[in-house]
Each structure stands twice: as structure tokens, then as C-alpha cells.
A and B are shown apart, each in its own frame.
Chain A
């Protein structure tokens, strides 16, 4: 497993063009200057998804920036351009999920109805069920009897369904599974996997999940915890207090003997599973660094979202993970670009003084508000592009309504491609 190198921020530029998506990223440089604010190269989304070398797209970013919608729109567009796509969503909005046929939570990709398959592509979609994914891992690695013991362990039940953090592990696990399935059927299976990432405390959590697991498995704690359970029977209580000495004594004092016993039998039962777990975590991590993977950082023109995007870009560079670019969602646009906020405001005030043209005065004020909002967004975006000038970027205009259907996703897809 690669050590976590802290991101430097400086490396972002080379990581972008140097790896992964081949002709995808960066191709559009130069034609991107459709607005005065943009100094970044334009992210060429179609070039990216048309590149047969591209096998995995990971959409990441802060919560509430439209990650899931971006992932779905991108997957749909790729499918309708001839790719065989599966999209893994984490927590889609209800109506969007329904529109993609994601009503059954069975943790299996299902074909999405209503997709134009004339180009030879296809689109399957699934929603992550973390408990089920966890169960599947156990079933795949443990004997039926052992699996049963794990499933009935109260610690497992709590951990697999309700504790924060499990989702990150399971999202990575599922990605690994999908990739393995795709590779097993290279002729007809998926040739592109699009993943959404969980709404974590920090967008970086899912990157750390496999490594955390690895360092945990290497750690002494697991040996201390698993040793007594291996000793078997009820003798382990004695082992706890005598052999391992102070450390476990402290644990017993803190947790109480009963919970420690549950944890120990859980860890003991998981012993066989952990090996497989860890191997897969490492595989998935390497997959993320590999050629054919592209990260899309999704943001909105708001301070927190862009700050998070900056962290992410730096971190990806530090980890040697291939960044395709930034998708900036919900960008305010104007229909009367050439009239500045100041002039619109001044004209509205003139009309107010005249006192006769209330309608036009109101429209000018609406425009002034909109231009001011846009200017502020541009200022915020500039901070990002200034720090990361080589990161290709595409802007998706704000829409009045959320996306609820495939047509809406197609429109988003078109915006992504057009920039």
C-alpha cells in the first residue's frame, strides 16, 4: 500500500495531463475562453468518456454540490455515445433514483430504461447498500458457519448498518467488485464504471478508508484482540487478564467485559475475512492510481465547496491519482451579459426617480442581482483557478429546478460536454 504523501498543491498540473485519460483531459485547452473569467483549460468531457482507455470515473467533492447528478449525467451521456456503463450511486435524491429505476435496493446493477442504445452502449445503475455489501464480503470469505457467527454478532450488526465510516469502506469494496466483474467479461461486460462518493465528513475520507483498514490490520491491537478468541472457549477471559496483561486489562475496564467479549469474538471470527478484505482494499487503492481511472472533482461556486475542491486536487496529486478536472455546478449565468450590475442598478435608480417605469425598473434590479451574484461566484472561482491554473474545468449553469428524469440528465450531460 502506498504511503500517504501529503499533497503539495504544486504537483497538480503535471498529474492532470501526465496520467490516465490520455487524450481526454486538457485537450480542449485554448478553446475554453468563452467567458472572461475562465483562465483554466476547458475540460473536454466527450473526449474523456469516448476514450476507450478510460475505465473508471470517480466523482468526488463536498456535500451538496451535485455529485450524484453529475455522475448520473456523465454515465448516461457515455452510454448514449456507445460505452457500456455502470453507475454506482450512493444516496441519490428520491425522484432522480426513481427516474433511473433505482427503486429496488438489492445492491445489484439494473438496466436503466429509456436510454438510447443505438450507439451500441448500455447503462446499468445501482445504489449502494452498505450492509448488504458488507454481508457479501463476509459470505465470500468465510465458511457458512463462520459467516453465520459473524452475522449474529451484535457488534457486527451495529457496525455494518449504522456507524459512520462503513460507507466509505463499502463504496470502495463495491467499486472493486464492479471492476472485477467488468474485467471478467471484457467482451460484453461494462467498459466504464462511474462512481459517486459518499457524503463524508470530508470528501477525502473514502480515499483514506482502504489505508486505514490496512494499518489497522497491521497493528498490534488486532493481534491482542484476536489472540484470546483464538485460544477458544471461555478460557479467553483468563488469557485476557493474565497473558496480555495491562493493555487488555485497560480495555476491559473501559469497555466492560461483555462488550470486549463481543468485539473479540467479532474480530476472531473476521480473522479469515480480514485477509481478503485487506487484499481487496489494496487492489482498489491501486486501481484508483492506475491508468484508466479519472477523478472528477465536483464543486459549486461557494467558498466551502471550492476550498474542499482545492484540498482534493492537492491530495490527489500527492497520491499520484489521475485528476481529469473540475466540474463547477450551479453557475449563475446571465441573459443580458453586456449590461453590468452597476449600470443596471444605476438605470433602475434613475427609473425609480422618474417613478413611471416600474416594470423595467424591477427587471433591471433582477438583472443587477444576478450579475452581482455572478461576479461574486467568479471571484470565488478565480481563487481556485489561480491556485490550480492547469486543472481543466467545465461550468454547468444553474437550473431553476432539480433534475428528475433522463431528459434533465441529458441536458446536464450536454452542458458538461459543451462547457
Chain B
């Protein structure tokens, strides 16, 4: 494993567009050396339905392996982590939810904006009583539900605090993994502090927002994008990557989730796509398998046609997936693949996925 992260793009001075770039994405000459060893904040986003919570959880497990300590934080109040790990709803409190391979700990936290605000007031301003004044006059509700954007400031602020927190032996967490909002909103979500910096010219809020932005843009942070090999999720991945880069945020890895086994060899796939599979051969095969068309139902001819139709659709899908892979290559980011799990994702499967991420070098 390389000892440093080869990607140095994320630092404070954003490069003016790469002239060598044909499009608005990708940096030239970026080797796919997949190592995010110096990253302490892993932000995981992806289009809805791509399994970003699963990937975030697997990553938190993988990063905790070998005696380390990670925090898995969700910020949308969906309790997705609790469901995934099959534990009761997470309170606003960091709890150990899993033990990593080789003895590490995964803690989990569901960041709740109201609690984050009161905690923030207390921590930085010792506003125990004043906090209640604010709550009475509706300011807490305002900040956490009504004022658009303020909640995002609070959510990112809490995660920032967890990354920065220290104990006697050093950082409290070796890594923090954020199960972030989906790709459609990730740019806005992460950039909200920039907006605040623009709004508040001076004062404590500006300072706080500025520190958060500095962390998010530093080499300690990477935004990983989860997708599946379908058109819209891949398109959104590209859009999100462009948006993040424009905001000076670093795109980490691309995790292709729910990859299906191609099953058929390339020649058969090509034949299936063009409808050139030998029907007689299939019938012969079915007969050899005991579907002789008389005793066995369904009738082998009907069965053969059904199988051929399915093979054609399967091949079309594989071709489409290959096309989407090429689209992802344009991003020039390391790509990690995770398989579709027939039985769904349970705790055991999470460990398998974590292992796959480690082997591929994401963790």
C-alpha cells in the first residue's frame, strides 16, 4: 500500500479547469491507486436506491479492522443504520454497534439537528439557560426545521466536531464515515457552510463555518460516490462529481454497488443480444436435463422460448452495464465493485462487503 494519497487536488487552491480535459470531469494522469489512508472523514453519497447506507456501513467496518475505532454517522434521521445492523433506533448518542474483524469498534450516531444545536450552544457558549430561552421563542425550531440550510450547518458541524475530537491517546476516532444525503443534494449540503461564510462576514458562526469548510476541502476528507450500473444513477454520479469538484471538494472513490454476475460467456451474450442463439441446441440441452416435453412441465418448447427471451434481456442489460462502466471511467477515479446480494443485506453480508472493500483498497 502506498503511504500517501496520490490525490492532491483537494487542497485549498482549486485549479482552474484542466485544459486537457475534454469534458468537465476527471483529472488527467490520475493513477487508480486506491488508498485513502490519510482521509479521516469519508463522506458517502449516491443516488437514492443505490445502497449508500450499506456501503457507508461496510466502509466503517472495514476502516475499524485491526483495532481501530470508527464512527458511522447518519444525518438524515432515517435510522438506516439501526435497520441495517438490526439494533433499536439510535439516540443522539454515540454507541458501539459492531466489532470489526481483528478487534476494532464501530460506533454509530444519528445526528439530530435540534440536539446538535442545543449541544453546540452549551458547548461553545455555555448557554444552558439561554438555550432554553431560544427554544421558548421558537428559535430552535426555526433553526432546525424552518430556516432552510441551517439544519445542514448543524449536521455538518456535529460531524466536524467528531472528526476533531481528541482523547488522551490522540483522535477519538481513527475515521468518521458519514452516510450523507443523496447525490442530488450532496453539493448543496456540503457547500452550505460556504454559503454561511458568505452571509456572515464576521462572528462566531462564520468562524465555525469556515473551519468546517477547511476540513471538508482538506486532504483529510473524501467524498465517495455510490452508484449502480444504470443510466440515471451514473449520470447523477457524474453530475455530482462535477459539482463537488467545482466546489473544491475532493471526489474519493466510486463504488459500484449491486453488480450482477454476468453468468453467460461473452460469445453467448453477443448471440443472445442479436437473437442468434441456436434454439435447437437449447431444446437438446433441456431434453438432457430431463425436460423432455412430455412428462415434465412446462413443455420444453415454451420453456426454451422463455429462456431465450430472458437471455436476450439479460444480454441487453449486460451491454448497458458495460456502457455505464465506460461512463464511470471518464471520472478517472478509482472504482470499487460490490456484488448484488440475492438474500439482501444482513450483518453477515456487511462483513463480506467490508472485506471486499478492504481487498480492493478503499479501506
Chain B minimum-CB-distance residue to A244: B137
Interface: A243 (CB within 8 A): no
Partner of B137, one of A64, A166, A221, A334: A221
Query: How many Å lie between the Cα of A348 and that of B281 in the bound state?
Result: 15
Query: How many Å lie between the Cα of A262 and that of B313 in the bound state?
Result: 58
What is the interface of chain A mostly: helix, strand, loop, or mixed? helix
Tell me whether A259 and B342 are in contact (CB under 8 A). Answer: no
Cβ–Cβ < 8 Å partners of B204 in chain A? 253-254, 256
Interface: B200 (CB within 8 A): yes
Interface: B119 (CB within 8 A): no
Query: How many Å lie between the Cα of A256 and that of B313 in the bound state?
Result: 61
Cβ–Cβ < 8 Å partners of A149 in chain B? none
Q: Closest CB-CB distance, A98 to chain B, in whole Å? A: 13
Instruction: From A186-194, A302-310, A411-419, give the one contacting chain B.
Output: A302-310
Tell me whether B49 and A224 are in contact (CB under 8 A). Answer: no
Chain B minimum-CB-distance residue to A262: B199
Tell me whether B189 and A164 are in contact (CB under 8 A). Answer: yes
Cβ–Cβ < 8 Å partners of A219 in chain B? 137-138, 141-142
Partner of A254, one of B125, B284, B309: B125
Q: Closest CB-CB distance, A10 to chain B, in whole Å? A: 22
Interface: A180 (CB within 8 A): no
Cβ–Cβ < 8 Å partners of B108 in chain A? none
Tell me whether B263 and A365 are in contact (CB under 8 A). Answer: yes
Interface: B55 (CB within 8 A): no
Partner of A164, one of B148, B278, B302: B148
Interface: B115 (CB within 8 A): no
The residues in B between 287 and 324 inclusive whose CB is less than 8 angstroms from any CB of A are 288-291, 297-298, 302-303, 305-311, 313-314, 316-317, 320
Interface: A4 (CB within 8 A): no
The residues in A between 201 and 246 inclusive whose CB is less than 8 angstroms from any CB of B are 201-202, 212-213, 215-216, 219-222, 224, 246
Query: How many Å lie between the Cα of A13 and that of B222 in the bound state?
Result: 47
Chain B minimum-CB-distance residue to A334: B310
Cβ–Cβ < 8 Å partners of B149 in chain A? 158-159, 162-165
A362-B263, A369-B261 as given contacts; A356 in contact with B205, CB under 8 Å? no
Over the window 141-166 of chain A, the binary record of Cβ atoms lying under 8 Å from chain B Cβ atoms (1 yes, 0 no) is 00000000000001100110011111
A335-B310, A366-B311, A367-B310 as given contacts; A163 in contact with B298, CB under 8 Å? no
Instruction: From B20-28, B85-93, B127-135, B325-333, give the one contacting chain A.
Output: B127-135
Cβ–Cβ < 8 Å partners of A360 in chain B? 281-282, 284-286, 288-289, 307
Query: How many Å lie between the Cα of A251 and that of B152 in the bound state?
Result: 19
Q: How large is the interface on B (under 10, 10 to 19, 20 to 34, 35 or more residues)?
A: 35 or more
Query: How many Å lie between the Cα of A255 and that of B117 in the bound state?
Result: 13
Instruction: From A34-42, A70-78, A317-325, A370-378, give the one contacting chain B.
Output: A370-378
Query: How many Å lie between the Cα of A402 and that of B236 in the bound state?
Result: 14
A158-B199, A164-B152, A202-B77 as given contacts; A255 in contact with B205, CB under 8 Å? yes
The residues in B between 112 and 162 inclusive whose CB is less than 8 angstroms from any CB of A are 121, 125, 127, 130, 133-134, 136-139, 141-142, 145-149, 151-152
Cβ–Cβ < 8 Å partners of B198 in chain A? 154, 158
Tell me whether A256 and B317 are in contact (CB under 8 A). Answer: no
Over the window 51-84 of chain A, the binary record of Cβ atoms lying under 8 Å from chain B Cβ atoms (1 yes, 0 no) is 0000000000011110000000000000000000
Tell me whether B142 and A246 are in contact (CB under 8 A). Answer: no
A65-B49, A202-B76, A359-B268 as given contacts; A335 in contact with B139, CB under 8 Å? no
Chain B minimum-CB-distance residue to A200: B185
Instruction: From B2-10, B211-219, B225-233, give the one contacting chain A.
Output: B225-233
Tell me whether A400 and B317 are in contact (CB under 8 A). Answer: yes
Query: How many Å lie between the Cα of A347 and that of B285 in the bound state?
Result: 10
Q: How large is the interface on A (under 10, 10 to 19, 20 to 34, 35 or more residues)?
A: 35 or more
Tell me whether A357 and B284 are in contact (CB under 8 A). Answer: yes
Tell me whether B311 and A363 are in contact (CB under 8 A). Answer: yes
Q: Closest CB-CB distance, A58 to chain B, in whole Å? A: 18
Over the window 281-324 of chain A, the binary record of Cβ atoms lying under 8 Å from chain B Cβ atoms (1 yes, 0 no) is 00000000000000000001011110100000000000000000
Chain B minimum-CB-distance residue to A155: B199
Interface: B48 (CB within 8 A): yes
Tell me whether A162 and B130 are in contact (CB under 8 A). Answer: no
Cβ–Cβ < 8 Å partners of B76 in chain A? 201-202
Over the window 324-355 of chain A, the binary record of Cβ atoms lying under 8 Å from chain B Cβ atoms (1 yes, 0 no) is 00000000001111110000000110110010
Chain B minimum-CB-distance residue to A69: B232
Partner of B313, one of A158, A222, A365, A400: A400
Query: How many Å lie between the Cα of A251 and that of B263 in the bound state?
Result: 62
Cβ–Cβ < 8 Å partners of B80 in chain A? 304
A63-B184, A201-B181, A335-B309 as given contacts; A347 in contact with B47, CB under 8 Å? no
Cβ–Cβ < 8 Å partners of A409 in chain B? none
Partner of A338, one of B78, B278, B297: B297
Instruction: Jot down 6 A-B pairs with beta carbons below 8 A, ordered by A.
Output: A63-B182, A262-B199, A304-B49, A336-B303, A350-B290, A400-B316
Using CB atoms and an 8 Å cutoff, list the residues of chain A in contact with chain B: 62-65, 91, 93-94, 154-155, 158-159, 162-166, 169, 199, 201-202, 212-213, 215-216, 219-222, 224, 246-247, 250-251, 253-259, 262, 300, 302-305, 307, 334-339, 347-348, 350-351, 354, 356-357, 359-367, 369-370, 372-373, 376, 400-402
Other 5 A-B pairs with CB < 8 A, given A258-B203, A338-B298, A400-B320? A164-B152, A337-B306, A369-B342, A376-B344, A400-B316
